[in-house]
């Protein structure tokens, strides 16, 4: 068996494209009726057949002996040349590597020349969303008035990044991910042809890992097959998990069981064990979400699989809460330097209220795993909390009267915090806690980090004579509605002069974040 299955079984005509009948039927009719567009846009996730379909279309429009149904013959010299990558009039461009205006200008110069061999020159631009703004503008002029002998096929996984002007000049075709059954049938067909003996559960792992991508399914099968211990007649479930670096099912079930039962110490032991074993925690989190999805679907339908016995008596709202916690962890874990900590922070959220001693133990253990820099921030916040024990009440009117003075005093600490507080709405001050509403989630998150809390408390002490805690609530209705309010926030940002482009980009990103959602 060759090392790359997806290349060996790449589709040769429209009928071999898997799961995209809604696309291939239209393209065959267009070829059959000689109604070829000069610009196509293929949209869809990776591994769904966009590039293969583009090459087949290039064959069909140049084929010397096309079939009556619109498929290429795959026998003439042009079809053979395209299959082997030798056809001079098929030009494939990877926009991720050739994204600048110079490459598009070079393309524009060449398209004026007639085809060297076939009837049409076909340009396939993959990952077209990666082009720069200038390159898009140059490409737009070409798409508006292309030569009659040129066909453009643009392919992208992120269509939302394409300018509307480009979209309006292309015939769009959306490629969908395969269902679990479709991908499974496809993989079973390949294993039969290749005489690969694989256990049913191992096959399921291959299919689940592909997540609807036919190409990824074959690539995964390749990895599992080549990683199989020689001399074994069948690829087992354990082998598939081991080769792919996937966590075992029991670890996930044990973690979820201890979480829903509120056994924080046991749940923490499982996470520590996973880390010690070198388990990919990002994959682990994804696997947890896969299982929680099956539990949720089972709960909704009223038919839960026996292997999820731990969830029999669970309220569906608790399942929903777990999913949200792990979705948040999945977003954070890919950028975290301490991935185990991200999962461990879920544990206190699921702890039972009547196990105070265990909560204290878990919080201490989790805290011991916080990186040094962050630990210092936690200690600072603790010191502020102690100082707040003697907070005195202040009338809300007095707070509002001196608010501008307070906000101005914050400016030396943090210019962004100054801007956030300037756009906040004061709601109440009760027992040492200042309650405010802010327009954006980003504002809330930045105001509640330890450094911001400390700055607010210290400045509040200076202006009002007492320290305070800060409690933020996001209220989208107080977002700035007009230009003057936005100008006020921008105008009062700290003046920072940066000459290097890298620094300028960083400042720009921060300003965009301030106005997130506007």
Q: For the chain, which domains are there?
A: 5-174 (3.40.50.300), 180-244 (1.10.8.60), 249-370 (1.20.272.10), 389-514 (3.30.300.180)
Tell me what percent of the residues of the chain surpass a pLDDT of 70.
83
Q: In what order do the strands lie in the sheet with 425-430?
A: 425-430, 433-438, 469-474
* pLDDT tens-digit readout, 340-359: 888 998 988 887 544 444 44
The vertex-495 CA angle with 493 and 499, nearest 5°, equals 130
**Alpha helix (H) ranges present in 33-179?**
50-62, 77-84, 101-111, 133-144, 164-167
Lowest-confidence pick of 23-37, 383-397, 474-488: 474-488
Quote the pLDDT of residue 480. Answer: 53
The pTM of the full predicted model, rounded to 2 decimals, is: 0.61
Confidence at 155, pLDDT banded by 50, 70, 90: very high
Top pLDDT among 374 and 160 is at 160
Say if CB 72 and CB 13 are below 8 A apart: yes
Burial of 154 (0-12, 13-18, 19+ CB in 10 A): buried
Q: How many CB atoms lie within 10 A of CB 140?
A: 15
Q: 283: closest CA among 295, 273, 274?
A: 274
* pLDDT tens-digit readout, 254-280: 999 999 988 888 899 999 988 888 888
Confidence at 4, pLDDT banded by 50, 70, 90: confident
Cα–Cα dist 468/470, whole Å:
7
């Amino acid at each position: 068996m060759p090392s790359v299955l997806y290349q060996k079984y790449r589709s040769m005509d429209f009928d071999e494209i898997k799961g995209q009948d809604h696309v291939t039927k239209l393209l065959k009719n267009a070829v059959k009726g000689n109604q070829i567009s000069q610009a196509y846009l293929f949209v869809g996730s990776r591994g769904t057949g966009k590039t293969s379909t583009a090459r087949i279309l290039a064959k069909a429009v140049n084929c010397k002996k096309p079939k009556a149904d619109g498929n290429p013959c795959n026998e003439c010299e042009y079809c053979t040349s395209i299959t082997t990558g030798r056809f001079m009039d098929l030009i494939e461009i990877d926009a991720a590597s050739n994204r600048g205006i110079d490459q598009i200008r070079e393309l524009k110069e060449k398209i004026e020349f007639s085809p060297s061999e076939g009837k049409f020159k076909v340009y396939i631009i993959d990952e077209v969303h990666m082009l720069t703004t200038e390159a898009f503008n140059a490409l737009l002029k070409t798409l508006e008035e292309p030569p009659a002998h040129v066909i453009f096929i643009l392919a992208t996984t992120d269509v939302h990044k394409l300018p509307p002007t480009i979209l309006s000049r292309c015939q769009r075709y959306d490629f969908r991910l395969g269902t679990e059954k479709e991908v499974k049938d496809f993989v079973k067909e390949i294993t039969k042809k290749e005489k690969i003996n694989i256990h049913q559960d191992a096959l399921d792992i291959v299919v689940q890992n592909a997540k609807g991508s036919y190409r990824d399914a074959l690539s995964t099968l390749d990895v599992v097959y080549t990683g199989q211990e020689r001399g074994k007649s069948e690829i087992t479930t354990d082998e598939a998990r081991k080769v792919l670096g996937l966590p075992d099912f029991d670890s996930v079930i044990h973690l979820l069981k201890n979480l829903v039962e509120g056994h924080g110490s046991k749940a923490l032991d499982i996470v520590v064990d996973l880390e010690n074993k070198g388990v990919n925690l990002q994959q682990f989190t994804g696997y947890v979400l896969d299982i929680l999805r099956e539990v949720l679907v089972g709960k909704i339908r009223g038919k839960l699989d026996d292997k999820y016995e731990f969830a029999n008596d669970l309220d569906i709202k608790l399942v929903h809460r777990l999913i949200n916690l792990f979705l948040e962890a999945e977003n954070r874990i890919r950028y975290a330097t301490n991935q185990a900590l991200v999962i461990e922070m879920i544990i206190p959220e699921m702890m039972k209220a009547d196990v105070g001693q265990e909560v204290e133990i878990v919080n201490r253990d989790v805290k011991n795993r916080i990186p040094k820099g962050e630990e210092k921030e936690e200690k600072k916040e603790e010191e502020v909390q102690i100082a707040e024990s003697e907070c005195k009440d202040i009338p809300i009117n007095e707070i509002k009267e001196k608010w501008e003075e307070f906000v101005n005093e914050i400016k030396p600490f943090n210019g962004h915090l100054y801007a956030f507080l300037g756009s906040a709405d004061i709601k109440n001050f009760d027992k040492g806690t200042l309650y405010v509403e802010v327009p954006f989630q980003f504002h809330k998150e930045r105001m509640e980090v330890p450094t911001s809390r400390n700055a607010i408390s210290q400045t509040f002490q200076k202006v009002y004579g007492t320290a305070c805690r800060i409690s933020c609530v996001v209220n989208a209705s107080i977002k700035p509605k007009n230009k003057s309010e936005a100008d006020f926030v921008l105008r009062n940002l700290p003046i920072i002069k940066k000459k290097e482009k890298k620094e300028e980009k960083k400042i720009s990103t921060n300003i965009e974040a301030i106005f997130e959602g506007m």
